[in-house]
Amino acid sequence: MDVRPTSLAGVQLIEPRVFADERGFFLQTYQAQDYRLALNIELDFVQDNHSYSRKGVLRGLHFQRRQPQGKLVRVVSGEVFDVVVDIRPDSPSYGQWQGLLLSAKNKHQLWIPPGLAHGFLVLSDGADVEYKCTDYYDPSDEGCLIWNDPTVGIDWPITDVPLLSVKDQQGMVFAEVGRTETPADNA
């Protein structure tokens, strides 16, 4: 595999080795020892997720406050514009974002260390996205950075408002992200 750093500290693009011939292809999507060595991942993956979304759906930008998840993301059908925002106050890339095309065709993966906000916009008719997580999902710990926060200034490849869940429509602005309490703590 070929591993390339991105503009965000610790976020890395992975181009797996693909063995293709007239029958199709084979690639290894994860092998603990290889990924630990190549990416310096010292965490165990404890949960695998799979989502399907239709064209124009934007999911995110999600994060967990007290139990941040590292994610190894890949697209198994379709194409997405995958976005990561560095919300770690002590990071040299704090407040910056990175957007990359992940697709079934390019077979790239993205390693997102714990502590960043993550989301994606579906560009194809539909997309299946799979990702491994280093911690368990906890709905009471979840936060959402609003997709169009002008402070972050993500250049999404769209002209219309994307299809968003109610939760994603109500995401917080970047200035609020550093708060550690959850809405339940304020009740």
Q: Which residues pair with 102 in a beta bridge?
A: 80
Catalytic residue selected from 35, 62, 108, 118? 62
Catalytic residue selected from 35, 108, 118, 131? 131
CA 136, 112, 169, 124 torsion: positive or negative?
Answer: negative
**Among the listed residues 119, 114, 60, the one whose alpha carbon sits nearest the alpha carbon of residue 90:** 114
**50 catalytic, yes or no?**
no
Radius of gyration of the chain, Cα coordinates, nearest whole angstrom: 16
Residue pair 134/70 in contact (Cβ under 8 Å)? The answer is: yes
Pairing status of strand 142-144 against strand 58-64:
antiparallel
**108 catalytic, yes or no?**
no
Tracing tokens 């169009």 back to the chain, one arrives at 148
- Catalytic positions: 62, 131
